[in-house]
Amino acid sequence: MKTNRDTRILIAEDDAMIASLIQAELESIGLTVVCTAGDGREAVALTSELKPDVVLMDITMPYLNGIDAAAAIQVGCPTPVVILTAHNETDLVVKATAAGVGAFVLKPPQAVELERAITIAMARHADLMELRRVNRNLQQTLAEVKTLKGLLPICCGCKKIRDEKNYWSEVEVYIMQHTGAKFTHGMCPECVRKYFQGYGAKEKT
């Protein structure tokens, strides 16, 4: 994880005085403020353009509120988001978490609270990105698993199967190529009798 001096912050706050106070608190602990957005739409656009490490997002802003802006950021340019709020309501927390928000700070925020929230948001975001990566890999693996369905052209003599390229393959080869199945070999009772009948038996006198 980045150190304080490496972490770049975007502040989304429509009150210029509050934004200035937050910036001062952040800079007091060695964090860098790359930009300040005055509304939700601007926050989304600047996040995509500047790619900050964390977005500090007010909730009540013009054009697009903080929760909707956070959701848009997670779709277009996934970034850790910390919500700045004057209220600590359960319903708000639920909605913000569903929008991809990683942490919350009550206004007026202090430096130590901001640092803690930023650390939490970045850690949760990293976990979420790893989970998404694992899910993508799983979906890709599932998509690549070929299934056998429909009518298969099979030779009535040698029992080979004709594939989509018009080549004839052994049954086990075809199945291994089109599924995740692997084969071990044995012999059924009928074949044992057919090929080994009388093997090892004593000759009659």
Q: What is the pLDDT of residues 92-118, one digit of tens each?
A: 888 888 888 989 998 888 999 999 999
| Per-residue confidence (pLDDT) for residue 205, from 0 to 100 | 46
Give the pLDDT band of residue 54 (cuts 50, 70, 90): very high
Q: Domain segments of the chain: what residues?
A: 4-141, 146-198
Domain 4-141 in this protein, CATH class: alpha beta
Least-confidence region, from 13-17, 61-65, 201-205: 201-205
Angle between helices 111-144 and 16-28 (to 10 degrees): 90
Q: What's the whole-number mean pLDDT along residues 25-51?
A: 94
pTM: 0.65
pLDDT band at 142 (very low <50, low <70, confident <90, very high): low
Phi-psi region for residue 141, left (φ > 0), alpha (ψ -120 to 50) or beta? alpha
